[in-house]
Structures are given as C-alpha cells and as structure tokens.
Amino acid sequence: MAGSNELLMARVQQGDRDAFRTLYAEWRAPLFHFLLRRTGSRELAEECYQDTWARVWKSAHTYDPRRAFKSWLFTIAANVGHDAKRPVVADFRLETTTNSDRVEAKNTLVVALHMLEGRDRAMMLLSIEGFKPAEIAEAFGVSPNSVRVRLSRARSQLREQLLAR
C-alpha cells in the first residue's frame, strides 16, 4: 500500500496543484536543511529548494509510485545541490546565535563535510538523512556495497578533519 506522500505524488502526476502544495509544505524543513548542509549557504539552499520543486513538477511524469517518494525527492535535491555553484568553505556562516559552542560545532561539521569529494558528501548527507545504503545505491546507480565502502571512507575522512581542528 502506498504512503500518503506517494498518493499525493500520484495526484501531482494528474496535475493536482493542491497535492503539490501539500508536499511542498510538508517537506520544507527536512529538504531545506539537507540543501543547507549540501550548499553551505542559506541563499543557495533556498534557490536549490525552489529549483528542486520546479524539477519535481516538471518531471512528475517520471515518478514511479513503486519507489519511495522520499528517495525520489532527495535524489532530485542531491542533483540540484550538486549542480549549484560550489560554495567557498571559508565563507560558511550557517548560524549566528548566542550558543556559540553549539554553533561552532555545527559549522565545523559542515565545513568538514564540504572537504569530502562531491559524491561522497552527497552519500554521507543522504545517510545522515536516514537513507539506507540500498536506497542511496539506487539513487546513484551503484551497488549497496560500494555505498558502504564510500561511507566508511567518508566517515574516516570526517573524523580526520574534525580531529585536526
């Protein structure tokens, strides 16, 4: 049985704008935060968010209802984020609040993520979002074992980056 997102997407495929608006609103926070971590810039993340939904509407006919909507959506977002202008890591300013320790830790992690090679970073971000290796493998057209190896390597690189700071 299809979930509510898959049912909404089936309605979008029929041209239902209300279903599209519902999905757009429902996925606002998780997708925007994914793109923020992907791009390192609020402005660029916002552009990518809008571009992701433009692509969802334009390519709705390609959605396969047997596939999880979340996987399909985040694959589009990962591609949009990859196509976006590569951020300058030194310019990252994700948050500025009074809780400086938390903000510094978060900013350090985002900078370390952006030191990874693009595909490894995208896989790591999808993993952080809760995607299983098999789902990531489907999105990238590789084997789940290849994803596990890349994630292991990326985690090691992240550990090195974080310990060096």
Task: Please give the average per-residue pLDDT across 20-35, as a whole number.
Answer: 92
The CATH T-level fold of domain 4-164 is Rna Polymerase Sigma Factor; Chain: A (1.10.1740)
42 versus 93: which is more confidently predicted?
A: 42
The model carries a pTM of 0.61
Given this model, what pLDDT does residue 1 score? 39
Asked whether the beta carbons of 27 and 52 are under 8 A apart, the reply is: no
Burial class (CB in 10 A: 0-12, 13-18, 19+), 7: middle
Judge whether residue 96 has pLDDT over 60: no
Quote the CA–CA distance of 152 and 7 in Å, as a whole number: 35
Judge whether residue 94 has pLDDT over 70: no
Judge whether residue 152 has pLDDT over 90: yes
DSSP-assigned letter for residue 85: P
- Alpha-carbon distances, residue 32 vs 11, 24, 45, 55, 94 (angstroms): 23, 11, 6, 15, 13
Query: What are the structural domain ranges in the chain?
Result: 4-164
pLDDT-derived band at 119, boundaries 50, 70, 90: confident
Q: What SS3 class is residue 66?
A: coil
pLDDT-derived band at 61, boundaries 50, 70, 90: very high
Judge whether residue 142 has pLDDT over 90: no
